[in-house]
Amino acid sequence: MSDEQTKTKTMKSVLIIGIQGALAKITAELLIKKNHHIKIHGVDSREIENVPNRSQLTYQQMKYTRTNFEKMFREHQFDTIFHLGRLGHSPVLGNINKRIDINLVGTNTILELAQKFQCKKVVILSTHHVYGAHADNSMFLKEDAPLRGSFKYAELRDVVEMDQMCTNWMWKNQNQIETVVLRPCNIIGPQIKNSITQFLKTSYAPLPLDYNPMFQFVHEFDMANIIVESAEKLKTGIYNVAGDDVITLHEAAKIINVKKLKVPIVIVEQLAKILTPIWKFPHYLIDYLKYPSTLDNSELKKNLGEDIFRFTAKEALELLKSH
Partner 1 sequence: MFKKFEAIERELQNRYGKNRDPWGLEPKRAVADLKVIWPLYQYYFNVQVHGKEHVKNKPYMVVSNHTGQVPIDAMLICTAFATEIENPRILRPLIERFLTSLPFLGRWSSEGGAVLGDRLNCLNLLKRGESVLVFPEGVKGIAKNTKDHYKLQRFTRGFLRMAIASEAEILPIAVIGAEEFFPYVVHLKKLAKFFKIPALPLSANLIPLPSPIDIYIGEPYSLPKGLSPEALDEELEPHLILIEQKIQQLTEYGLKNRRTILQRLKQ
Q: Is 261 in the site for partner 1 (CB under 8 A)?
A: no
- For partner 1, which stretch binds (CB under 8 A), given 76-84, 97-105, 123-131, 210-218? 210-218
- For partner 1, which stretch binds (CB under 8 A), given 14-22, 86-94, 132-140, 270-278? 132-140
Among 30, 104, 263, 265, binds partner 1 (CB under 8 A): 265
Among 60, 138, 257, 270, binds partner 1 (CB under 8 A): 138
Q: Is 135 in the site for partner 1 (CB under 8 A)?
A: yes
Q: Is 312 in the site for partner 1 (CB under 8 A)?
A: no
Q: Which residues pair with 206 in a beta bridge?
A: 261
Residues near partner 1 (CB under 8 A), total? 21
Compare residues 7 and 142 and give the one whose CB is closer to partner 1. 142
Q: Is 139 in the site for partner 1 (CB under 8 A)?
A: yes
Query: What's the burial of 212, exposed, middle or buried (CB within 10 Å: 0-12/13-18/19+)?
Result: middle
In degrees, rounded to 5, the angle at the alpha carbon of residue 284 between the alpha carbons of residues 27 and 181 is: 35
Compare residues 31 and 246 and give the one whose CB is closer to partner 1. 246
Contact between 184 and 222 (Cβ < 8 Å): no
Residues 6+ away with beta carbon under 8 Å from 18 = 24, 43, 44, 83, 84, 85, 86
Q: How far is the CB of 294 from partner 1 (least distance, A)?
A: 7
The interface with partner 1 within residues 216-255 (CB under 8 A) comprises 246-248, 251
Compare residues 117 and 140 and give the one whose CB is closer to partner 1. 140
| Measured distance CA(129)–CA(91) in Å, rounded | 16
Contact between 107 and 164 (Cβ < 8 Å): no
Among 52, 146, 264, 305, binds partner 1 (CB under 8 A): 264
- For partner 1, which stretch binds (CB under 8 A), given 34-42, 92-100, 287-295, 303-311? 287-295
> Residue 108 — φ and ψ, nearest 5°?
-60, -45
Q: Calculate the CA 294 to chain-centre distance.
A: 15
Q: 177-201 as b/e, with b when 16 or more CB fall inside 10 Å? A: bbbbbbbbbbbbbbbbebbbbebbb
Q: Is 212 in the site for partner 1 (CB under 8 A)?
A: yes
Q: Which residues bind partner 1 (CB under 8 A)?
A: 135-140, 142, 210-214, 246-248, 251, 264-265, 290-291, 294
